[in-house]
Structure 1
């Protein structure tokens, strides 16, 4: 399938890359279909609306940056998404200048079922996570002992 994007023009995506968000994404409820565009081995990717070329989100695999990241997916959410075993977790990034100030939203992960291609952004209740954790806990150029 060919989809139109603002950043890359028309691109071809496989049906397996398109996920259905039955309730949309908070703030973007009218958009239901998004293509997950992964970047090979990189921990980054994009979630591109199939319905609007101007709606996309930069994503990251949270476990690359926060290996201890964990949360309990409520049974009701797992049932709604039809999740049995396979699950993909991605989190939305906010890119800032300088790049070291970029943040990741750990409070509201995107939960994707790669088998049924269903997805939902889950807001974690009673969590210590926030919407703006620094992507890099310290500047990549900072070494131990630096302040």
Structure 2
């Protein structure tokens, strides 16, 4: 399957497409996404398969916040049909300068890699925010050494 991206056409395997039954908040019409990544890069793109301009820079939040934790509601576990395996990603907002970039820990993207379904879950009780510092210079010991965008 060929999809259009802002970088040009990209061939993907249809088995790699994640279905979001309700879309992503603010992008309800976009239901199907694929993860695009480089092997050694801690950052990925969540790219719409239908609209080339809908793409989110994402990462594993545990790389930046080791103590990050949240609890899925039973209805969300059922909706995602999670039994034993899930992937958690968070959307990054790039800023200028890049050191001011933020990560959304309030609404993680939860993926079921076995069934290729996903959902952005908005946490109703969380000590984290939607605009956490990506690189917390004061609490750097909290993050793993993941490099930078350079």
**Fold conserved between structures, TM > 0.5:** yes
**Per the alignment, in what secondary structure is the counterpart of residue 57 of structure 2?**
strand
In 2, distance between residues paired with 1:54 and 1:110? 19
Other-structure match for 1:5: 5
Other-structure match for 1:102: 101
Consecutive unaligned residues in structure 2, runs of 5 or more: 139-150
Other-structure match for 1:59: 58
TM-score (normalised: structure 1): 0.90
Other-structure match for 2:80: 81
Query: What value does the CA root-mean-square deviation take over the aligned residues?
Result: 1.1
Q: Flag as ranges the 4+ runs of structure 1 deviating above 3 A.
A: none
Deviations 1:31-83 (A, max 9, x none): 10011112213211000001101100000110110011000111110110111
In 1, distance between residues paired with 2:45 and 2:16? 11
Other-structure match for 1:36: 35
In 2, distance between residues paired with 1:107 and 1:96? 18
Other-structure match for 1:45: 44
Consecutive unaligned residues in structure 1, runs of 5 or more: 140-147
Other-structure match for 1:144: none
In 2, distance between residues paired with 1:4 and 1:85? 33
Superposition deviation, residue 127 in structure 1:
1.2
TM-score (normalised: structure 2): 0.89
How many residues matched?
Answer: 138
